Structure 1
Amino acid sequence: MGQGQQYFRNYRQEQSLTQRRIIVSGILVLILVGVLIGRLFYLQVIEYDRYKTKANENRVMLIPEPPPRGLIYDRNGLVLADNRPIHSLTITPERVESYSSLKKELDGILDITPEEWDAFNDKRKSYRRPYQSITLKQQLTDKEWAKLSVNLYKWDAVQVEAQLTRYYPYGEAFAHAVGYVGRITEKDLLRVEPEIYQGALYIGKSGVEDFYEKELFGIPGLSKSEVNARGRIMSELERQNPTPGSDVHLHLDARLQQYAYDSLGNYKGSVIAIDPNTGGFGLG
């Protein structure tokens, strides 16, 4: 009887210990489940707006689209500054795996100067908008375009984009008055709103191009596109078309200007013609 009672007592103690362990384990499981539910509630309810915004930022890419620059006309409607389409080689930095390899491969196909690579690297360091393509080489010839097109499948980061460049039909005859546009530099961005010029390549540097920069530039557009994990555009969700810049009509007479320019030849001098009715004048 003594051994039986001892056995029964040990059995009861082990059973009691097991029950306590089960209760403690159940309480721990309930605590962990409560913590998990609390964390899920925090993430999905309290922090919903924050993480939704972050998810959209990763999924949706805003791509700025520079507007067509306004044209410049003389008093008779002749174009002094026009836009012409060109094809340029652009690179998206976030998609580049190795710049040294990419540079070696591109240099084997196209004649890309060290200055063009330096300009690209300078822009790459200053650009803050993710997945924005940066121009490496402008005005590709038909031969360069063809050689590049058959190799584009090799790179996710390289594209050929159609862009507009400035064209001056009368050349240097109007250079001192009409001025010219040039590549945007860090110094140029100090005098304008950098956000507006995201994606733009040129800005007025002198003459009418510089003085009427705000009117000629226009209002940039914006494309909201859905991208995958590698940054490749899958679909366009929303689009706001750019507003072209305003055209500028001058008092200059292109034919008279050209005549004065040709007449002066290699001599230094100037020709000024003033309309007393309007105060408009032309420079030669």
Structure 2
Amino acid sequence: MKIAAAFLLLAALQANAQSDSTHLLVADGAKPVLVSKQFKFTEGPAPDRKGNIYFTDQPNNTIWKYDTKGKLSLFTDQSGRANGLYVDKKGNILACADADNQLWSFSPKGKHTVLVDNFEGRKLNGPNDLWIHPNGDIYFTDPYYQRNYWTRQKPEIEGMKVYCLPAGAKAPVVVADDIVKPNGIVGTPDGKYLYVADIGGDKIYRYDILPGNQLSNRMLFTNKGGDGITLDERGNLYLCGNGVFIYNPQGQQIGHIDVPEKWTANACFGGKKRNILFLTASTAIYTVEMKVKGAE
């Protein structure tokens, strides 16, 4: 009994150590710092190569820019009701344009083009978040959230899926249809793995990315779903929702960042050193200084 009790105590201590590692990732004494609270609902933060961050205010149909000097400026007031964003290697800002369920690409000067208009002649549910593979393939999630600015009252496509728009292609393909309601999405910098947050199934899955943009070997990463996700340089995954939950590469929760808002929708790393965690949280945006850098 004494040996068993000792093992239980050791396991408890190890579990506590794992759940109390936030201080190893967040800069000493750092807490979320409010940048601005002038929005309706912020989403989709994405850094460019210089560390400037673009994010959306979907109800107001806008995309904003938060630069490395801390200056906030309006990028466009015609965003297509953009949700998730991602900046490609050329500085174009790709957007999940929810107004007409499309994927858009904005030039650095703000001019947009439509990349994806439909899937096999039917409207997409509502592209939500996206990630670009190093080879240029665009992976995006397509859950259904009924919007008050839509005329339709039900989806045209059965099921909520993950799609890929192969580099140079004009039409997307389904790469995962085994998720209840996919939301946040992010891949590893080497292009080997893709993480998808299943907000409907309350789980996060990891897939192997195969040649030809296909996914295989779905693995349950953790039994908790949520909204946006991002990765740091150590392979830790940051899951947004009630604050920010942090998981190590093995799927064990190792920390949590409290955010003083009802909901934290998404996060990314930005700044000149890529060590600023930028949070879109309800009507506000926050920054947190970190000891780690982003993986993207």
Higher helix residue share:
1
- Structure 1 or 2: larger strand share? 2
Q: In which range does the TM-score fall when normalised by the shorter chain?
A: under 0.3
TM-score normalized by structure 1? Answer: 0.24
TM-score normalised by the chain length of structure 2: 0.23
